[in-house]
Chains A and B, each alone.
Chain A
Amino acid sequence: MEPKRELLEALCANARTDTADLARQTGLSESEVEAAIADLEGEGTIRGYQAIVDWEEVDEDHARAAVELNVTLDRETGYAEVSERLAKFPEVSSLHLVSGNYDFLMIVEASSVRRISRFVSEKVAPVPEVTQTVTHFVMETYKEGGIEMNGDDDDDRLSVSP
């Protein structure tokens, strides 16, 4: 596997790994790791680093919804234009064009269900190209970014074995 791909995999496993440990894991020198990461960031392969949060554990309200959107397009307006407009809202945490019965799948986050409802009805539905919205509030999150929220990470192996 080429070094950059290897670095990506190591960072996807744990983006907080420091340069020295990334160097040890990949066999690159620290300066090579720094240069490769700078490249990956510069060319836009790495777009950012985020924490995966279990909001249940945070002592404040947090709500999330998956919103299905149908849109209508015309000569001047394509999916790209509509998506740009929608993506600008800070409430939208992710936005995908999908195959199937609707066009966009949009994940919306806010501090309450009420705020999300208002956001969808006041900001999203009025967008001229949007013809229909269906909002699914998230009731429970079991897995996020590859991490199980109730994952049991106890090591039940024998502590020493041949």
Chain B
Amino acid sequence: MVLVKTSERVGRVPPSGIRKFFELAEEREDVISLGVGEPDFSAPWAARDAAIASLERGQTSYTANRGMRELREAIADHCADRYDLDYDPGEEVLVTTGVSEGVDVALRALVDPGDRVAMVDPSYVSYRPGVLLADGEPLPVRTREEEHFRLTYDALQRAGASEADLLILCYPNNPTGAVMREEHLEPVAEFCREHDLRVLSDEIYADLTYEGEHTSIATLDGMRERTIVFNGFSKAYAMTGLRLGYALGPAEGISAMNRIHQYSMLSAPTTAQHAALEALESCEEDVEEMVRAFNRRRRFVLSRFSEMGLDCFEAKGAFYVFPEVPGNDGTFAEGLLEEQGVAVVPGSVFGGAGEGHLRISYASGLPQLKEAMNRMEAFLA
């Protein structure tokens, strides 16, 4: 007898496509996983130490809904310095429990039933469920390897995004590692201005941009007033488990998001907020060092793929590369795991445009990457 009746809404959300690979990988002992979406580093010690110190001082209460004032100020300063993003810490910054919560409350705050939400395909797995849970209609916009998986004006046009209300951008991109420089963002911004699209820009991998600087779409003409920018501490500061992110946007948008956040979350984890404050104040060098390490691994992996004859565009962001593989990506990934004990995530998990590709995470030490590449080479032979 079914005692619990679940909602029609939750029924709309499909189970995670990654689950299967997680279970297969967990069954084996000798697996090298290139399927991990988080850094292998630990958070910088100074940030961890600040978290511990805050606990020792007994700072275990709630903070302001929007996050500690001091942290919001530090975030605003950091974003102004680093990304040219100017936001008022009083009205335009919301500290969230990871970017995931930020995107979720933004969707619930900005989407009306039936609103169309365009999103880059392939991209991170939570946008589509987020839109469905907010009663919106997901509209995937396919990107192509020939265009380095960048979103283009034509792709938006082709997908019918002129009818959309909202666009979710994610660059540097998970799973492709694609980046969009200012010249690539400008046509997208033009499309958004022409068709009055609001933008949710998930920039969690911004600091992991190689060979050049990250540009936020919110810095382009006429975009600030229609964009919510998301960033956080998970990737660049290796703080995934501390669950801390932030959203920047026009006061009305942030205030609407805060209305949901104050009831559902109350405030982001206090201990993590203390760690984040310290991270912004003193961990810049740790971040730079991690970024350089990621970049060496990126070059290593790309160069091994080219040696083994796997087609792979030169990803310049995040810690993923997205090679094309023969045949079905799911079958390939299962075979690779069974025969060689290397876990990866099939590209199709991230959307139809990811089919035929694998997401390879290089957030692992070089010795592991080296061994994994040798095993992949053996699998392909």
Contact = CB atoms under 8 A, between A and B. Distances in A.
Interface of A: 1, 6, 9-10, 13-14, 17, 21, 23-27, 155, 157-162
B103 to A, nearest CB: 13
Contacts of A162: 16, 18, 37, 124-126, 174, 345, 349
A155 to B, nearest CB: 6
A1 B22 CA distance: 37
Nearest to B16: A162
Given A6-B292, A13-B293, A158 B299 contact: no
A14 B366 contact: yes
A161 B19 CA distance: 8
Interface of B: 16, 18, 21-22, 25-26, 31, 33, 35-38, 40, 124-126, 174, 292-293, 296-297, 299-300, 303-304, 343, 345, 349, 364, 366, 370
B40 A160 contact: no
B16 A26 contact: no
Interface centre among A9, A14, A160, by most B CB within 10 Å? A160
Nearest to B31: A159
A9 B345 contact: no
Contact of B300 (A24, A155, A158): A24
A159 B296 contact: no
A159 B292 contact: no
Given A24-B303, A155-B40, A160 B296 contact: no
Given A21-B370, A27-B299, A160 B35 contact: yes
Contact of A159 (B16, B25, B293, B300): B25
A1 B292 contact: yes
B370 A161 contact: no
A152 B287 CA distance: 21
A157 B36 contact: yes
Given A6-B292, A155-B40, A160 B345 contact: yes
25 contacts: A1-B292, A9-B292, A9-B296, A13-B366, A14-B366, A21-B366, A24-B299, A24-B300, A25-B296, A25-B297, A157-B38, A157-B40, A158-B22, A159-B22, A159-B31, A159-B33, A160-B35, A160-B36, A160-B345, A161-B35, A161-B37, A161-B38, A162-B16, A162-B124, A162-B345
A59 to B, nearest CB: 26
Contacts of A13: 293, 366
